[in-house]
Amino acid sequence: MKASTNKDSSNKDILAVAKEEPSTLKTKPRCTTAGGLPAIFSTFKQIRAETGVIKGIQLLLKANQSCGFDCPGCAWPDPKHDDKAITEFCENGVKAIAEEASFKRVNKDFFKHYSVAELSHKSDIWLSKQGRLTEPMILKEGSTHYEPISWDEAYNLIAKKLNSLNNPDEAIFYTSGRASNEAAFLYQLFVREFGTNNLPDCSNLCHESSGQALMETIGIGKGTVTLEDFPKADLIIVFGQNPATNHPRMLSSLEEAKLNGTKIVSVNPLNEAGLDRFKHPQNVLGLFGKGQKIANLKLNIKINGDAALIKGTIKLMLDQEKIAPGTIFNLEFIKKYTQGFDEFISLIEKTTWEDILSQTGLQMQQIEEFAKLCINSNASIACWAMGLTQHENGVAAIQEIVNLLLLGGHLGREGAGVCPVRGHSNVQGDRTMGIWEKPREQFLQKLEQEFQLSFNRKNGYNAVEAIQAMLDKKSKVFIALGGNFLSAAPDTLATAQAFNNCNLTVQISTKLNRSHLITGKTGLLLPCLGRTDLDLQKNVKQFVTVENSMGIVHRSAGNFTPPSQHLKSEVEIVSKIAQATKKNSPIQWQWLSEDYHRIRDSISRVIPGFENYNERVYDKDGFDLPNPPKDNLTFTTPSKKACFTAHDLPKLKIEKDQFIMMTIRTHDQFNTTIYGMDDRYRGIFNDRRVILVNPEDLKNLGLKNKDIVDITSHHKGKTREVKRFTAILYDIPKGCVATYFPEANPLVPLDQYAKGSMTPCYKSVIVSFKATS
């Protein structure tokens, strides 16, 4: 398996970042408080290193403000305009902003100096720290170095490759959650005019299970709560999520709720600092003392024990309901708004306590305490992230959460509902705009009506199917609107080979990443504007729009001089590719890209909820999209009711000396972007190639703390291996281990994914490990 740009090295050699030098790993006891002065110091350090203090302060005063730009980090919503602080950002958001606005540059001289093979052996953090891309580059077939190419030449090359395909399904068009609504709408429009629905996106890799589970049960694949619901809740349950690292501003909402009397429960295999205590770094008084306690109850379950926990909780609730009917379950709500209750209850009664206790690893007393909190709550919110979505039963596990909430009627009321906490800042908006391999008929009809075209009805490839299609040489062109697909995808070596099999790979990016180093026969690197950059079209300043995790659409406008005069906006790049590819298109691509109001006008006529888009988006708070379950207890399921679902508990066969592994993020990263080598809250410093192991498990294997090990995954008789990871004693349930994403992604099988969503099982990998020989 050879990389086209380095005939002397295999992809395995290039992608493995095995440690050649002695490890500088250091460990400390984990933190029990998030935020505080360390967060402030980290923020200042990032700004000083990347942008300088003066520009950094200017940037941060514009971050998440009505007159500024939306943070390129997570999708957590902003407070209402009147409630916003002048410093409406978090530590990890600052890291994302600082790197995007960095004074460092990656230009043609950089690529002349470094061959692709040399860059391939650099670490992810080194690649990210080189700065912003400044001009379009091409890696020609057989070449060792990227070299400059003009924009027109790049557009024409893409058009030539696309038009030479035997059929449109031989092209794949990936989208990252960074893309704006306007860019995403034009992108899917071009792809569908080209003739395919091959629109995999980052949702396929993370929250696809959430969308599928919620669509089937409540008729909308989104959450049903807003920030204003949090302090009104009696109970907030946080499943499989680490807010302090992945959504730090969520801690402010949890703190407010806690101070208002809300009970909070954390369900997670790991003790995470943000759910212990929180010191609000923007509250002077909050910086001192022990900080605000967040979780009333922490349930450190085994990996993928969530469904069993919920079933056990409902069994206990059912026992009480039988004693006093109507006092535990909201029978009026269940009768009026739901279906499937009897079948669901029948399966609950058949579920054994032996299975529940075995799969959760909890004591009966712990489940009883959780059930009591659920019973006493009149308004419950359930939050979750990828700790639930990335299992074979990911869809089913989320539907168990819906079951729990339906029993108490916790939908359509203040302080209650479902809250999938999404990652990238416009990943939800991209799906709303039509970035989906399975478009709905109503959407396609509206799109056809708007642009007087006919579109293909055949479903396209999702992310897993796209990789397989490239491996099978059924697809020959891969275009990515943002992201780092190679590092984000499962089975890294297979994904690398998939890229190698293509005739052309195109990456539309702001910064250098590993996906730029493993290419098809020809690779194109097209640099684009970022969120912080001023976007001028015909010398008129433009703004874009995004949708946050709670379905609110608002403006985002960069105010800072772009790092290069050669950069183009994502909207312009998509438009130019479309013009070059579809010479006789009836769509006025140039006209649309010259004024983004025109794009929004089309969106307003195609997508429900966006009526009067250009008027409503000027509101300082943006506008809410329709949410029938939240707004008026309307469910757009086939039965027009919310659905209870009945699922058996998962059966995962694990052999002796095997473990279930989950991949996690460090505090110094966002998705695949690595900002530093430390995981401050977990007490791990200077290294990322580690495996967290229960002390008793490590002892039973005859290993000791900080031994160097090789890890092997096992699935359907096939093994995958990564080498030279450091084993660390950690407080994690027996039989469970944790590694960092993306370093452990080569272990994640391509053909192991969630039933119903095909989300890869990054959190359910069966592994064994042994001392490095």
As a whole number of angstroms, the distance between CA 374 and CA 380 comes to 8
Mean pLDDT, residues 103-108 taken together: 96
How far does CA 728 lie from the centroid of its chain? 27
Mean pLDDT, residues 462-486 taken together: 98
Answer whether residue 601 shows pLDDT above 60. Answer: yes
> What angle is formed at CA 534 by the lines to CA 528 and CA 538, rounded to 5 degrees?
90
Question: Over the stretch 17-73, which tens digit does the pLDDT of each residue have?
Answer: 444 445 689 999 999 999 998 888 998 899 999 999 999 999 999 999 988 999 988
Handedness of CA 37, 41, 47, 52 (dihedral sign): positive
Supply the pLDDT for residue 22: 56
Pairing assessment for the beta strands 235-239 and 263-267 based on DSSP bridges? parallel
How far does CA 181 lie from the centroid of its chain? 17
Q: Which residues is 560 bridged to in the sheet? A: 533
Question: Over the stretch 680-704, which tens digit does the pLDDT of each residue have?
Answer: 999 999 999 999 999 999 999 999 9
Comparing 329 with 6, the larger pLDDT belongs to 329
> Contact, 746 vs 758, CB < 8 A?
no
Answer whether residue 671 shows pLDDT above 80. Answer: yes
How far does CA 178 lie from the centroid of its chain? 11
Peptide bond into 79 cis (omega under 30): no
Supply the pLDDT for residue 260: 97
Supply the pLDDT for residue 7: 36
> What angle is formed at CA 344 by the lines to CA 342 and CA 350, rounded to 5 degrees?
105
CA distances from 192 to 86, 388, 437, 443 (A): 42, 32, 10, 12
- Please give the span between the terminal C-alpha atoms of the chain, in angstroms, as a whole number: 25
Q: Is the pTM of this model over 0.85?
A: yes
How does the average pLDDT of the chain come out, rounded? 94
Q: What is the DSSP string of 661-696?
A: EEEE--TTEETTEE--S-BGGGTEES---EEEE-HH
* DSSP three-state, residue 463: helix
Supply the pLDDT for residue 334: 98
The closest alpha carbon to 6, from 523, 501, 743, 518, belongs to 518
Crossing angle between the packed helical segments 53-62 and 91-100, to the nearest 10 degrees: 120
Helix (H) or strand (E) segment spanning residue 642: strand 642-643
Mean pLDDT, residues 119-124 taken together: 95
As a whole number of angstroms, the distance between CA 427 and CA 481 comes to 12
**What is the chain's length?**
773
Binned at pLDDT 50, 70 and 90, residue 360 comes out as: very high
Supply the pLDDT for residue 765: 98
Instruction: Report the 3 state secondary structure along 162-176.
Output: HHCCCCHHHEEEEEC
As a whole number of angstroms, the distance between CA 306 and CA 304 comes to 6
CA distances from 742 to 466, 490, 732 (A): 19, 9, 20
Mean pLDDT, residues 302-325 taken together: 97
Binned at pLDDT 50, 70 and 90, residue 10 comes out as: very low
Crossing angle between the packed helical segments 570-581 and 181-194, to the nearest 10 degrees: 10
* DSSP three-state, residue 21: coil
> Contact, 219 vs 211, CB < 8 A?
no
Supply the pLDDT for residue 425: 85
Which residues have CB under 8 Å from 546's CB, separation 6+? 70, 180, 181, 425, 426, 429, 553, 554, 556
Question: Over the stretch 626-639, which tens digit does the pLDDT of each residue have?
Answer: 999 999 999 999 99
CA atoms within 13 A on the CB side of 700: 13
The closest alpha carbon to 238, from 370, 133, 366, belongs to 370
The dihedrals phi and psi of 555, each to the nearest 5 degrees, come to -80, 160
Mean pLDDT, residues 652-657 taken together: 91
Mean pLDDT, residues 373-380 taken together: 98
Question: Over the stretch 158-182, which tens digit does the pLDDT of each residue have?
Answer: 999 999 999 999 999 999 988 999 9
Q: How buried is 514 (Cβ within 10 angstroms: 0-12 exposed, 13-18 middle, 19+ buried)?
A: buried
Instruction: Report the 3 state secondary structure along 488-508.
Output: HCCCHHHHHHHHHCCCEEEEE
Handedness of CA 452, 458, 462, 468 (dihedral sign): negative
> Contact, 525 vs 137, CB < 8 A?
yes
Question: Over the stretch 271-299, which tens digit does the pLDDT of each residue have?
Answer: 999 999 999 988 877 778 889 999 999 99
* DSSP three-state, residue 9: strand
